[in-house]
Structure 1
Amino acid sequence: MTQATHSPQPLPAGYLTAAAPATLLERMAHTLPVFTCPVRINTNEDRAALAAEALWLFAQRTGLAQDGESIETVLIDFMADVMHLCEQTALNPAEGDVLGDITRHAALHYEMDLSEQGEG
């Protein structure tokens, strides 16, 4: 199968803020190869693009995929839904600090990713 890819286009300086439009997620997501599973992750930009791809799908499904909505709004709604998912699984956020534990563990992974690429 032939891989279709999108060429990453640089984003304007200062454009990546919490108030950036949700539609920026689509642009970030399109830096990854299309129809490749699993996608090859080489850089932290790739990791961000993979997260953007997932959030862009969420934004589309929830009606947040428009310039009037911010990435921050998409993230807040997504995290709230993750909390609902945890509640309906063995990862119940009402029992202790499960979400906090997961967030701290994710932060460790993030810090390792930064140090591996010399950013931290």
Structure 2
Amino acid sequence: MRIIENTKLDFSDVLISPKRSQLTSRKDADLTRQFTFKHSKYTWTGVPIIASNMDHTGTYKVNVVLTAHKMLTALCKFEKFQVRENLIQTIGLDKNLDELDYDDSEWICLDVANGYTERFNDY
């Protein structure tokens, strides 16, 4: 086991201080950002919030609601994938990755119980 000894922070160590704003209401705040991905040069503009790929949150119904607000949904891996805007296909590492079809997906989520497993690193 490797022990990392550098400083760790938690919520009690972080203070978010408000700053002055010209906005008159919180609804006027624009949370959208543009991201350019380093290795693909693909760009995406939206709110960087992703609904988890769990049974009750990674659904098509949630995707419809979040897409209206430019947010993303990681589809539950047990749902049959259909290409939709702002939908992330979840691929469980309990399957043979070489046999999976994810060519139609703009995004994929590799679902693994333990990110330190050698199988995950080899992919």
Give the TM bin, normalised by the shorter chain. Answer: under 0.3
Higher relative helix content: 1
Q: Which has the larger radius of gyration?
A: 2
**TM-score, length basis structure 2:** 0.22
**TM-score, length basis structure 1:** 0.23
